[in-house]
Amino acid sequence: MRYVSTRGQTPPMAFQDAIITGLAPDGGLLVPASIPDVSAKLPEWRDLTFVELASEVMGCFIDDIPPEDLRGIVERAYATFDHPDVAPLIDLGETQVLELFHGPTLAFKDIALQFLGQLFDYTLGQRSGRLNILGATSGDTGSAAIAGVQGKGNVNIAVMFPRGRVSPLQQLQMTTIADANVHCLSIDGSFDDCQSIMKRAFADVPFKTQHNLGAVNSVNWARVLAQVVYYVYAALKCDEGDGVDVSVPTGNFGNIFAAYVARRMGVPLGRLLLGTNENNILSEFFNSGDYTRGAVHHTISPSMDIQVASNFERFLYFGFGEDGPQVANFMEQFAQAGTASVPIEILANEPITATAINTEQTLATIARVHQMHGYVLDPHTAVGVAAADLLAPPTARERPMVCIATAHPAKFPDAIRQAVPGVDARHPRLDALKAMPERLVELPATDAAVRAYMEAHLF
């Protein structure tokens, strides 16, 4: 399987090169040259465990790692999860909840980043290579990326976060990690400042090459691939003959794009429902064809407070019939004008239906599900459940509905208290963090300061 760029100007490359490269040199995102059809394999996949299924599904996209090595990578990645099923399904009657938060940092990003960490370790080991990862986070990605590579000898990781603007728990999940290869940079600026410093470092090719800079953000294809697995898993478990609908809370479009790939592989998925919070650029797009950047709203589902979704470009590529130049035009126009559009007919053939869910609806959904089932949704998951209830009302469902649970509620205790007063969302692993020493470096929001730190402390 070769990987090509969504903008069509990069020579095809092998899987492991695509993972180490991150973003394609032409500015596009790497995608498989073709999406394998797995429909003939589904019957024999039905009874596999999550780890067995992951090896099979990923093996369809990877031909430069021997199957027994891939199996080892996957086993090591999911050995850190604290549930025997890795991704258990919870039956709430009209809805099945797929819990993806049983990894080390209690958010679904562990599914992809535990795998990516093991994959980096394997590939760098084979090549005697080293990698310095530079990341920027507004919350969940930083801790999951750190947990993926902590203690690995061939990788350093430096994560920038905006000082005072990540939740205290999210900060502790990063800064209490004691491994010497982990560097937490508390930046005196906004998340956008952190992201701009990161983007300029990656765009500076001599700097990137000299320091073997690697990326763990959601443009890395390995993250999408790891997420495809749980859609296959849930569809096989819940399908009663007519397929399964899924509802996905969305920010960067990574999670729902994985569902889109699984569906194109012939996995029995029907409708893909997309829920955004008040940052509704994606729901506007799927309802009108217009993709227009707005101001970022801060909400109770902060991991979805995103206006420009990086993985959206991969969807466009397939929507435009794998036409790289057309994608490049769209992205160019959007970069210049902050707006671009596609003919609505293109979307009529797509399985995605979208809606935006506001704070009041999110809180009401947490309260209703708690009252009916005694089950506490985190605010991100609640956006997806609310979108499902709106777009496919429980009494009119044609197929089983799987809602994707992206975080443990204890990560967002304030929102839970607001929705269901008296309910204290806790997790022993988070409680334990409060007694642990923090390790971080405070830096001004300048390229010079961050680069000087990297030169002094990384490979």
Ligand X SMILES: *Cc1c(COP(=O)(O)O)cnc(C)c1O
- What's at 87, amino acid-wise? A
Active site residue 109: yes
- Catalytic one of 41, 109, 152, 434: 109
Give the x/- contact pattern for ligand X in 150-189, rule: CB under 6 A: ----------------------------------------
CA–CA distance, 372 with 92 (Å, rounded to integer): 9
Give the x/- contact pattern for ligand X in 109-148, rule: CB under 6 A: x------------------------------x--------
Output 32 or 139, the one with its CB closest to ligand X. 139
**Interface with ligand X: number of residues (CB under 6 A):** 16
Query: Residue holding tokens 């096989």?
Result: 236
- Of 357, 361, 353, the closest CA to residue 392 belongs to 353
Give the x/- contact pattern for ligand X in 207-236, rule: CB under 6 A: -----------x------------------
- What's at 223, amino acid-wise? R
Check residue 289 and give left, alpha or beta (phi > 0: left; psi -120 to 50: alpha).
left
- What's at 327, amino acid-wise? V
Q: Which of 252, 299, 359, 365 binds ligand X (CB under 6 A)?
A: 252
Stretch that binds ligand X, among 148-156, 230-238, 253-261, 451-459 (CB under 6 A): 253-261
Q: Which of 103, 135, 249, 268 binds ligand X (CB under 6 A)?
A: 249
Asked if residues 271 and 245 have their Cβ atoms less than 8 Å apart, the reply is: yes
DSSP state of 36: P
Output 268 or 384, the one with its CB closest to ligand X. 384
Output 177 or 443, the one with its CB closest to ligand X. 177
Paired residues of 160 in beta bridges: 136, 185
CA–CA distance, 56 with 228 (Å, rounded to integer): 12
Asked if residues 140 and 307 have their Cβ atoms less than 8 Å apart, the reply is: no
Stretch that binds ligand X, among 46-54, 84-92, 243-251, 435-443 (CB under 6 A): 243-251
CA–CA distance, 233 with 404 (Å, rounded to integer): 12
Query: Residue holding tokens 């969302």?
Result: 425
Q: Which of 50, 221, 230, 253 binds ligand X (CB under 6 A)?
A: 253
| Footprint on this chain of ligand X (rule: CB under 6 A) | 107, 109, 140, 218, 249-255, 303-304, 380, 406-407
**Which residue numbers are catalytic?**
109
